[in-house]
Amino acid sequence: MGASKVDGKIYGENSKFYGLKMFEKRMGGNMMNDTLVQSFLSVAAEGSFCKAAEKIYISQPNLSRNIARLEKELNVQLFDRSGKHIALTEAGRIYQNVFQKVEQCMADAKERVERLEALEMGMIRIGYVNGWNIGSYIQPILKKLRLEYPGVKVSLEAYNLQELSARFQMGQMDLIITLQDRTAKMYDAESMLIDTAQEMILFSNTLFRTRKKNWKPEEFRQETFFVLADDREEMQLDCVRAIGSKYGFVPNICSVNSMESILMNVENGLGVTVCNSWVRNVYEPGFQCCPLEHSTEIAAAWKQGQENSALQILLGYMTEKNLNSCKISA
């Protein structure tokens, strides 16, 4: 199996960079460093051998020899030297256009290779709200990322809402999936709406063994409503009280310290909770839900001016997914 050393790095024949690196090496690094072509493009741009020689820092005799050599290699006259001022011949204009395009292509190729090399060691840290099921949204996106950029590493970490925001602000998370209204309070953050989640009352079959599709909120007037004792508590309390006010009862409310505790209490038939459709237990066989009239916006947030190339690729996939979802909805 062959390999080659370029710019101090070893590239095997199976490397995705091998072909581009070998081509770049044969071309002298890139087209801008090819002396003959650079000499030709400089003279064409300046319209003068003297000015072109000054621009690329070589003597005029050497510049003239470079042009003569290139004309010999191409077997064509590139400049008309018969008048007071030199001018491109028709063939010269054609080659000028070709060389400029090749020069741009080489610059683009080099930039793409550098981006790919950076992605080979890329890392994306994604945080989300503890208790949420983000798999149905994120898994297809991560699958595509792994197929196209297998070297990129991704970590998924769950935290309560308050800690998630804190870790993001401290730069410990590259991307977080959270409530849309929270992103507006985050300094130096950009966000993307990714879903509108249905709000619902979640309960288990242990509480009501009857299975039906048309549960009504007033049927839970005797049940304990579990809410989180964190910075979401007021929001949840307002929601539960609004349900009671609308359907004519005063809810019995119990605050607990984690989403896990809420779900454990609900699973064991000790009460109910109000949550959105992203909570992982919503679609599990042992649970049922009663849809409410309002919904919650779910968003992805990241820091402004992020230079993480892998994250930019991921955000592109997420934007594409959102656009496709809009087309399907339409």
pLDDT digit string, tens, across residues 120-140 = 567 899 999 988 889 889 999
The answer to whether residues 25 and 45 belong to one domain is: yes
- 135 lies in the same domain as 40: no
Q: Are residues 109 and 248 in the same domain?
A: no
49 plus 183 within the same structural domain? no
Listed residues 93, 120, 147: the one ending a domain: 120
Percentage of residues of the chain with pLDDT beyond 70: 84
Mean pLDDT, range 244-248, rounded to an integer: 90
Percent of the chain with pLDDT over 90: 38
**Residue 5 pLDDT > 80:** no
Query: Total structural domains in the chain?
Result: 3
pLDDT at 222 over 50: yes
> Which whole-number Å values give the CA distances from 216 to 133, 220, 243, 247, 279, in the listed order?
25, 8, 11, 9, 20
Instruction: Say yes or no: 212 and 248 in one domain.
Output: yes
Same domain, 184 and 323: yes
Band of pLDDT at residue 214, cut at 50, 70 and 90: confident
Mean pLDDT along residues 66-89: 89
Residue 125: predicted pLDDT: 94
**42 and 145 share one domain:** no
Domain that holds residue 223: 196-296
In this prediction, residues 197-226 reach a mean pLDDT of 87
Higher pLDDT, 115 or 30: 115
Q: Does position 27 have pLDDT exceeding 50, yes or no?
A: no
pLDDT recorded at residue 118: 57
Q: Do residues 172 and 287 share a domain?
A: no
Asked if 206 and 130 sit in the same domain, the reply is no
CATH of the domain at 135: 3.40.190.10
Residues 72, 84, single domain; the answer is: yes
Q: What is the CA radius of gyration of the chain?
A: 32
pLDDT average, residue stretch 279-301 = 87
Say if residue 134 is in the same domain as residue 275.
no
Q: Does one domain contain both 9 and 116?
A: yes
Residues 148-191 have pLDDT tens digits of 888 888 999 999 888 899 999 999 999 999 999 888 888 889 99
pLDDT in tens, 224-239: 999 987 656 577 888 8
